[in-house]
Structure 1
Amino acid sequence: MHRITGRAGGDSLIEMSPSDSFNDDINGYHQHASSSSGSPQQEQSPIDKQQQSKDSVFFRDGERRIDFVLSYDEDKDGERKQERRKIYEANLVNVGLELETEDKSESDDGKTYFVKIHAPWEVLATYADVLKIKVPFKANDIPDNSEMPMNWLSTPFRLPEHIMHPEPDYFTAPFNKSKADFFLIGDKDTFFPPSVRNRIVYYILSRCSYFRDECGDKDKKGIKRLLNNSTYTAAFPLHDSRYWTRSKDANCESERYNLHKHWARFFCFFKEQPLNLIRKYYGEKIGIYFAWLGFYTEMLLFAAIVGTICFVHGFLTYGDNEWSKEICNETIGGNIVMCPLCDKKCGYWKLNSTCNSSWQSHLFDNVGTVFFAIFMGIWVTLFLEFWKRRQARLEYEWDLVDFEEEQQQLQLRPEYETKCTNRKLNRITQEMEPYLPITSKCARSCLSGATVLLWISLIIACIIGVIAYRLAVYAAFASIMKDSATAHLQVVGPYITPQLATSVTASCINFVIIMILNLMYERVAVWITDMEIPKTHLEYENKLTVKMFLFQFVNYYSSCFYVAFFKGKFVGYPGKYAYMFNSNLRNEECDPGGCLIELTTQLVIVMTGKQVWGNIQEALVPWLMNWWGSRKARNHPESLYSRWEQDHDLQGFGQLGLFYEYLEMVIQFGFITLFVASFPLAPLMALINNIIEVRVDAWKLTTQFRRPVAAKAHSIGAWEEILNGMAVLSVVTNAFIVAFTSDMIPRLVYMYAYGEMSMKGYINNSLSVFNISATNWENRPDEDENPYWFNSSITTCRYRDYRYPPGHEKEYAHNMQFWHILAAKLAFIIIMEHVVFLVKFFVAWMIPDVPSDVRARVKRERYLVQEYLHNYEVEKLKIQLSQNGHNECSCTPMIYPSLTKHEVLSECL
């Protein structure tokens, strides 16, 4: 028998076992539910249905609110499922819930039954006590000094006051049913908002049994399992109105309509989000997500402005690009013959053929890149520190202080309770609770870790395959493009080099592989997380978060890491090239304009492709599925299309709905921080995407999905630690990108050490010389691959490196300039990392995580809770003593201000 630690009605504990209900006539439980609720259970005619508003969220009596709806169809396996439903619904009635069933003849498809659930005050009060839900007990008496100077500037971006602040500010305390008169309870029907009501009902549904325990086996329980075995087809709370019009019922708040009008429409993109209304309607968990997404978008504005300025700086200094002028010059770049970039199929080529890519590279590879990389390291710190402050304020305003401990102790996952047959004493609650033996936990964790490593290895194998594709296809592109006078293929204006064609096609193939692997791994990650049997919902989400992020990190970023830190670094030199795994595939060289432009190309394709595909998938797929699912309902008169039928035809948001939203944004965060030195416009692209993302998420939540079950969350969870880790890693990656991927350090070394403060002659200085006659036979280009201008008088070719020329005593060894540049690169990395980390830690130290006014309010609330409870207990004792015939005494703190609580009670006694 399963026992819930709570009380309903009187003092007896609530029993979820179906044994008591089977002592009665189980077949008559519907009539019992109807008679107890005052609503006879009988088929309603269409005219009765018309008399009730199609948007009604009440029972047929128009008084009791529908807190939850269950739906089911009768099918060939109906007897077993019908038996489960009878037991389950009988147990819901025993707990105190009230049910009302809509016959299938009244549904739009003619085959779906709807069970409407109402939680009366006694049930709500009992479980509000169990779940320690905070409710108001005193109006907030701390003056609000949040008004900022020149507040009028923000007026165009603000929403109406009644939308932003739908209710007054109160001090709150955990609800206690035995002290109900301590709290500010006006109307019991509206004291608990619909989001709290559906959260309480779902808590009961998740723990109620549907199996008769005749053989001594454990009970089967929970709505989730009933949904999985198709006993019920759906379980959801109701929206309070249609999203495009207010409800005709005066008792309905029409908050869905307000959210759609003031939040979900795209043309509200410049308006602030009504976070209090979002929290009130959808719960704190969804509210905290949109608060974080909005804050992240606001902070992106500053990064986008600085990034755009850096890009404009690169554009304006276009004419000062001395090395590009030398490359494009016919007498300099036109006379420099470069060594082949691949074996056999690549011929000799002239440096001036890379003129376009050199100019394009300057847009992103300039002095502004260094400044922007340092700025983004500081920006990340400011973003995370200011978010902690915003989060702390929301925790207080939304009664989430100390919530995590409450959640860990009270809200065990039903799956955990069902699968863990062992019991042990909880030293905190002093109650027997299920637990998973350490041996089983270790075995499951090892299997889970091995599965994750297997899939990460699969990603790495796919990346190696893409690299092999790049090496193999480059020769093909080079052979195709060799007939052009400039060794390029002209397509609608700009020239496409073999390197660019290879990079673009490889990036596209890599993106397709990423999406396919994502689709496959999502199912695997959920399966292995279920296998680990996490104890709480928070632990479940954290475990799934780590698994999914590790996979996505490798999946999305591995190709960018390859281009940034491996491509072109292990090439060798003519006569002694390096090959991939000792095959005939020669390691890839960087584009003559540098590897940074290729990293930019990779970043743009993967980042843009993911964001565009994500928005299409988020908006279009639910809309198409709803359009197809409601095709029959569109033929029914609106007056017959009830509120529960409308919501039933929408998509289910699911327990992991927010998980994928967070994952999408955190992956984007990685793109704009880890590799931002290669593409200063990445924050601008992310800003544009997020402005759309906020409204797309709001639109689909209010129009395309059923109302999610309200849930609490005091923070963004494990994502916060992931963001902190990525913030630290981004400083390292950007320092290495500037040092080893960009040509910034070699140029600065040349300017200050070799070029006498000038960049003239840099191109000739940065290219080493190789004797063509020393070329190995396997490296020589085929006869028909060389361009028409190549002849036997050309005896040397050039390549990107710093090596001694032929004839030198250290022929083809690295020269001193190479070591000078390497030392400068390492020095730059050390200096940049230390400077940025020093500023990061200083900023983190200077900015407190919790604002001082919030800290004061928390202390004030805790003080008032103790003070008011003390006064409440004293007054209650005084009344009790008076009723028992004792002499009346004025034992209140007002009479005895200097006495402690125990002294006052002693004086009364």
Structure 2
Amino acid sequence: MGADITHQNTLAENFEVDYVVLYRFSSIDKNEAKEQFKKLIRALSDVGLQTEVRPGIDQSLLIFVKAQEKYLGKALYRSRVRDWLHGVRNSQPDPDAKGSCIPETDAERLLIVYNMITAPSSEGGAGITPKQGEWDNVDSIFPLHDKLLNKTWIKAWTSKTFLTADDLDQIRNHHGEKIGFYFAFLQSYFSFLIFPASFGVACWVLLGNFSIVYAIVNCLSCVVFTEMWKRQERDLRIRWQVKNVSEIHTKRREFKYLSKSIDPATGEESFVFPSTTRLGRQLLQAPFAIAAVLALGTLIATCFAIEIFISEVYTGPFKSYLVFIPTILLSLFVPTISAVLTSIAKRLTDYENYETQDSYDLALTHKIFVLNFITSYLPVFLTAFVYVPFGKVIVPYLDLFNLTRNPFAKTSEKNQLQTSATPFQINPSRLRKQVIYFTVTAQIVNQGLEIVLPYAKRKLTRKYQKYTEENAKSKKNSGSSTPGPGTAAIPEDAPGESDFLARVRDEATLTEYDVTADFREMCVQFGYLSLFSVVWPLVPLSFLVNNWIELRSDFVKICLECRRPVPLRSDSIGSWVQSIEFLAWLGSITNAALVYLFSNDGVGPDGSPSQITGWVLLLVIFFAEHIYLVMRLVVQVGISKIETPATRQERLARYLVRKQYFDATLARERREEKAQGSHCGGQRRRGSHGNRSRRMRDG
């Protein structure tokens, strides 16, 4: 009931608009634009969608779409039947039941309407895919924000420490399960950090850095969190009724088949892309990974060497300025190279030609994870496992045999560059400072880039738009028929629509929300916790504070800085579970190695590899990994024995369905037996009556 009222309020605020289709015609001929526009309106109308058109900005049109209730109900019923066939729903939908054709949530309605717009005609949709094929000039399709609801949520959640299950349900009901799972994961991760943060503070005070006790507890807590989240994920699937929703595969429009065949089981025509061909294309991931390691690894290692030389070897002039050279180089080249490699990863994934969107996203996520792993963790790995053990061997060669000072040599001793004459010494605090930078400073900078920078950009953009509008008005009032450069045509809006259309035009300029980027950020953060928090036990405390802010800032970003996302369904957080499992496993190895290397009062082997016993290090890593595997098995078995309310509810639902079918079958058999018995009894009565009649005639 509450969800229905919320949906009614949303429709009333948004003039009963379900979606806005942004159509741009600046890049094509006017006649061609008109024909394509007519085709677009016709395609929407054919599937039961009503449209209204208003002018946008920068040679664009705003097409407001609303689903007719009759067609919406049919599409909703088909969707629920498909869910039942794939095991998402336990019971078969009844078309005559009350509410069977009424959306339960705002997200369900918007998803059905979105499918009516974008699904291919073979599935009952209009087949409109933005920026693809014949719909190249359809810029985007997006729902409108519920401003009043957003303000209410932001005000309520900023004063809360934890989000409740009802809060997560509200996010799911409004934004769909995919975003609901992200906020549920972030809330679960935030709650989990309370124990490592408290224990880390105690270890930092009592035991110091590189504590074996902290390393063991940290590895165990990472295992517990991973397994507990997998259990919570299953509970949310049941609670939100999306179990097995990943089994419903929708073909990608970009999928290109090589042949057609007839399915021997169903007799239906299927489109085939041989798995051997895809496997051959997937083998290109190996050279891609090597190229990524070489490109990013070489750049990071080079900047790392330059930074070591300038900060710890070089003693000449301008040292206070030269130390910024590695940072500048990394800031310039890492984003550029990462963007190029990300583009290559997307093209490679396109070339692999996946049939469904889920399989495409999974393959792309794995490639992006490799890039993030290199850029995020390689500097710390270099410090911990190259600089500390082999610093005294490698760093003196960075002086390049004093060649760096020759170009600066002068007769005057004052301007002569000199390198240090004192023996090189390992900086024991370098690793700790580096971990602090990535887990504290970088987190603060990232928050600023996520919140402050988009806000400032939006403010400047709005001021510029206001300036161009005022400039256009002045041109119009002065009698000029053609606007000058930098001016924009101002649509003439009806008085009752002007505020609403201004808000829609403003939302059309917003960026799309990418939940994958936020998942990637949390996965990288979990990696720092699992891999390197033994270096500085206050890492969990830093993440606890950061994630309290992150939980709210991400929601503010969705509500204010991005378009309202399409409420897509999902039954998990996808392959990110595999990523955090991998990081938890790798953390067991890394923690063991770090504790061994820095066991001598936390300063490490002092740059001399002679202090490291190789076989002992390998033995430590071997035992640490196997202890981790045993701990994970114990945790998995222990958690599997716990029955949660959601699993109990699912078991009860399955029992009731079986009981209902059994009772129905038993009742039908009883009716048949009763009908058969009455039929036989009637025959016996008729037979005895005939005998009496014959005896009477004979008598």
What TM-score, normalized to structure 2? 0.77
Among 140, 150, 160, the alignment partner of 1:268 is: 160
1:382 pairs with 221, 224, 240, which one?
224
Q: Does 1:860 align with 2:680?
A: no
Please tell me whether the aligned partners of residues 236 and 709 of structure 1 are also in contact (alpha carbons under 8 angstroms): yes
Q: Does 1:69 align with 2:24?
A: no
How many matched pairs?
A: 623
The residue that corresponds to 1:289 in the other structure is 182
Give a deviation string over 1:490-543, Cα, whole Å, max 9, x none: x9xxxxxx9xx96x8756754664444334433333333233222212112111
State the 1:297 CA deviation: 0.8
- Structure 2, unmatched stretches of 5+, are 1-8, 405-419, 471-492, 680-699
- Per-residue CA distance 1:383-432 (angstroms, 9 max, x = gap): 01211221111111000222222x23xx112222xx33633345676532
Which residue does 2:531 correspond to in 1? 674
State the partner residue of 1:729: 586
Letter of the 1:268 partner, please give it.
K
Aligned pair partner of 1:599 in 416, 427, 431: 431
Q: What is the CA-CA distance between 1:439 and the residue it aligns to? A: 5.6
2:172 corresponds to which residue?
A: 279
Q: Any idea what the Cα deviations from partners look like across 1:125-165, whole Å, max 9, x if unmatched? A: 33542464669xxxxxxxxxxxxxxxxxxxxxxxxxxxxxx
What secondary structure is seen at the aligned counterpart in 1 of 2:562? coil
1:399 aligns with 2:292: no
Match of 2:44 among 69, 78, 92: 92
Asked if the contact 1:364/1:679 (under 8 Å) is kept, the reply is: yes
CA separation in 2, counterparts of 1:693 and 1:101? 38
Question: Aligned partner of 2:563: which letter?
Answer: R
Work out the CA distance in 2 between the residues paired with 1:382 and 1:480: 52
1:717 aligns with 2:611: no
Which residue is equivalent to 2:688? Answer: none
Q: How far apart, in 2, do the equivalents of 1:740 and 1:903 lie?
A: 82
For the 8 Å contact 2:22–2:508, the answer to whether it is kept is: no
CA contact (8 A) 2:103 2:109 kept: no
Match of 1:259 among 153, 160, 167: 153
- Cα deviation 1:110-139 (Å, max 9, x = unaligned): 96332323142334433542464669xxxx
Give the structure with the higher percent helix. Answer: 2
Amino acid aligned to 1:313:
L
Amino acid aligned to 1:646: R
Q: Distance in 1 between matches of 2:671 and 2:244?
A: 26
Question: After the TM superposition, which of the residue ranges 630-639 and 460-469 deviates more from structure 2?
Answer: 630-639
Structure 2 CA distance for partners of 1:443 and 1:746, relative to 1, 3 Å: closer
Identity %: 22
Q: In the alignment, which residue of structure 1 is the partner of 2:375?
A: 555
Alpha carbons of structure 1 residues 902 and 280: separation in structure 2 relative to 1, 3 Å:
farther
SS in 2 for 1:711: coil
SS in 2 for 1:666: helix
- What's the offset of the Cα at 1:833? 4.5
1:424 equivalenced with 2:244 (yes/no): no
Q: Find the counterpart in structure 1 of residue 99 from structure 2.
A: 185
CA pair 119-843 structure 1, distance change in 2 beyond 3 A: same
Name 1:851's counterpart in structure 2: 643
Q: CA deviation at 1:678?
A: 0.9
Q: Give the deviation of 1:231 after TM superposition.
A: 1.8
For 2:160, give the aligned amino acid: C
Residue number in structure 2 paired with 1:412: 251
| Distance of aligned partners of 1:111 and 1:465 in 2 relative to their CA distance in 1, 3 Å threshold | closer
Instruction: Name the structure 1 match of 2:54.
Output: 103
The answer to whether the Cα contact below 8 Å between 2:50 and 2:67 also exists between their aligned partners in 1 is yes
1:61-460 equivalent positions in 2, closer than 5 A? 65-75=16-26, 77-95=29-47, 97-104=48-55, 112-130=61-79, 132=81, 173=90, 176=93, 179-181=94-96, 183-185=97-99, 190-208=102-120, 221-226=127-132, 230-239=136-145, 241-242=146-147, 245=148, 255-263=149-157, 266-270=158-162, 272=164, 274-313=167-206, 364-365=209-210, 369-405=211-247, 407-408=248-249, 411-416=250-255, 419-420=256-257, 422-426=259-263, 430-438=267-275, 440-460=277-297
Could you tell me whether the CA contact under 8 Å between 2:128 and 2:135 is conserved in 1? Answer: no
Residues of 1 paired with 2:633 and 2:144: CA distance? 47
- Preserved CA contact (<8 Å) 2:533 2:539: yes
Distance in 2 separating the partners of 1:431 and 1:535: 17
| Cα distance change, pair 526–374 in 1 and its aligned pair in 2 (3 A) | same
3-state secondary structure, aligned to 1:679: coil
8 A contact 2:25–2:137 mirrored in 1: no
Q: 1:657, CA displacement in angstroms? A: 0.6
Conserved in 2, the CA contact under 8 Å of 1:393 and 1:850? no
State the distance in 2 between where 1:901 and 1:585 align.
102
Alpha-carbon deviations, 1:48-85, whole Å to 9, x = none? Answer: xxxxx9984566xxxxx432221224435233233223
Contact 2:218 2:530 in 1 (8 A): yes
Contact 1:565 1:741 (C-alpha < 8 Å) held by counterparts: no
Aligned-residue offset at 1:726: 0.9
Aligned to 2:548: 691
Other structure's SS at 1:71 match: strand
Cα distance in 1, alignment partners of residues 614 and 290 from structure 2: 35
Contact 1:607 1:671 in 2 (8 A): yes
Contact 2:292 2:371 in 1 (8 A): yes
Q: Deviations over 1:680-728 (max 9, x none)?
A: 1111111111111110111111222222111111111101011111111
What are the superposed Cα offsets for residues 208-235 of structure 1, whole Å, 9 maximum, x if unpaired?
479xxxxxxxx99532335996522331
CA distance in 2 between partners of 1:308 and 1:866 (Å): 53
What amino acid maps onto 2:51 in structure 1? E
1:324 is matched with none
Q: Is the 8 A contact 1:238 1:707 kept in 2?
A: yes
Match of 1:838?
630
Q: Which amino acid is the alignment partner of residue 108 of structure 2?
A: V
Paired position in structure 1 for 2:366: 546
Matched position secondary structure for 1:554: helix
- Would the aligned equivalents of 2:389 and 2:607 in 1 still touch at CA under 8 Å? no
Deviations 1:868-895 (A, max 9, x none): 4677xx6xxxxxxxxxxxxxxxxx85x5
Counterpart check, 1:708 vs 2:565: yes
Q: Is the 8 A contact 1:108 1:640 kept in 2?
A: no
Query: Are the structure 2 counterparts of residues 908 and 455 from structure 1 closer, same or farther at C-alpha, using a change threshold of 3 Å?
Result: farther
Distance 2:193 2:403 in 1: 42
- Identify the structure with bigger relative contact order (alpha carbons < 8 Å, sequence gap 6+): 2
Structure 1 position 286, deviation (Å): 0.5
> Aligned partners of 2:273 and 2:333: how far apart in 1?
38
Q: Provide the aligned C-alpha RMSD in A.
A: 4.3
**In the alignment, residue 445 of structure 2 is paired with which amino acid?**
W
Give 3-state SS (helix, strand or coil) of 1:112's partner: strand
Secondary structure, in 3 states, of the residue corresponding to 1:374? helix
Tell me if the contact between 2:307 and 2:326 (Cα under 8 Å) persists in the aligned partners: yes
CA change 1:479–1:581 in 2 (3 A) is closer
Which residue number corresponds to residue 14 of structure 1?
Answer: none
1:782 alignment counterpart: none
Q: Which amino acid aligns with 2:556?
A: W
Aligned residues of 1:677 and 1:734 also touching (Cα < 8 A): yes
CA contact (8 A) 1:206 1:223 kept: yes
Q: Supply the distance in 2 between the matched residues of 1:863 and 1:313 (Cα, whole angstroms).
A: 54
SS of the aligned residue for 1:412 comes to: coil
2:126 and 2:273 map into 1 onto residues whose CA distance is 18
Q: CA deviation at 1:854?
A: 3.0
Q: Please give the alpha-carbon distance, in whole angstroms, between the structure 1 residues aligned to 2:674 and 2:113.
A: 41
